């Protein structure tokens, strides 16, 4: 019997172009988009040392929540005695004034923990956002007594 010659088929140049192109696009996509996670632009709240020393808290966030019907004002406890006095003064919560429109959010519901406040712990106040007085993207002024913290961005 005669041996049948075995020939290795040669690929056509046109058949390699598409798989190489797909492979190159996948590699570029992984390098370009898969190497890091894009973060949102930073959110910073202005600080006022005198306000913080007087109230014992640092305001850390203002956000419209509850389908736009509430404004949440978060704060961090710095001094437990002063912060307790601040939180227990239910008749005089801080007022929020929209710097763009001048509208006020003043009707507050205090977060009551039922125990002593702890330094470094976050707490919050909720405000009725009547008639959309405060909107995402606005800046507000927080007023407590004679002290004010201006240009607080609203999330």
Cβ atoms of residues 145 and 55 within 8 Å? no
pLDDT the model gives residue 46? 95
Chain centre distance of CA 89: 28
pLDDT in tens, 65-115: 988 999 999 999 999 999 988 888 888 889 999 999 999 987 888 766 566
Rounded to an integer, what distance in angstroms lies between the CA atom of residue 136 and that of residue 124? 18
Percent share of the chain, pLDDT over 90: 50
R_g of the chain computed on alpha carbons: 30
| Sheet of 95-98, strands arranged across | 104-105, 95-98, 139-144, 147-153
Q: How many residues does the chain have?
A: 155
Q: What is the pTM of this model?
A: 0.71
Q: Which of 125, 118, 48, 45 is nearest to 83 (CA)?
A: 118
pLDDT the model gives residue 31? 62
Architecture label for domain 49-154: Sandwich (2.60)
Q: Which of 50, 60, 73, 64 is nearest to 132 (CA)?
A: 64
Element (H, E) at 49: helix 49-55
pLDDT band, very low/low/confident/very high, at 138 (cuts 50, 70, 90): very high
> What residue spans define the domains of the chain?
49-154
pLDDT the model gives residue 34? 60
Rounded to an integer, what distance in angstroms lies between the CA atom of residue 135 and that of residue 77? 26
């Amino acid at each position: 019997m005669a041996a049948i010659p075995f020939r290795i088929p040669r690929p056509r140049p046109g058949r390699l172009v598409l798989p190489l192109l797909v492979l190159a696009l996948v590699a570029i996509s992984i390098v370009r988009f898969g190497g890091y996670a894009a973060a949102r632009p930073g959110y910073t709240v202005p600080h006022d040392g005198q306000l913080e020393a007087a109230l014992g808290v640092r305001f850390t966030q203002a956000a419209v929540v509850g389908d736009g019907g509430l404004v949440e004002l978060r704060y961090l406890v710095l001094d437990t005695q002063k912060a307790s006095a601040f939180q227990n003064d239910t008749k005089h919560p801080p007022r929020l004034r929209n710097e763009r429109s001048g509208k006020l959010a003043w009707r507050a519901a205090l977060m009551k923990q039922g125990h002593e406040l702890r330094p470094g712990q976050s707490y919050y106040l909720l405000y009725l956002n009547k008639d959309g007085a405060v909107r995402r993207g606005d800046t507000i002024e927080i007023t407590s007594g004679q002290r004010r913290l201006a240009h607080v961005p609203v999330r």
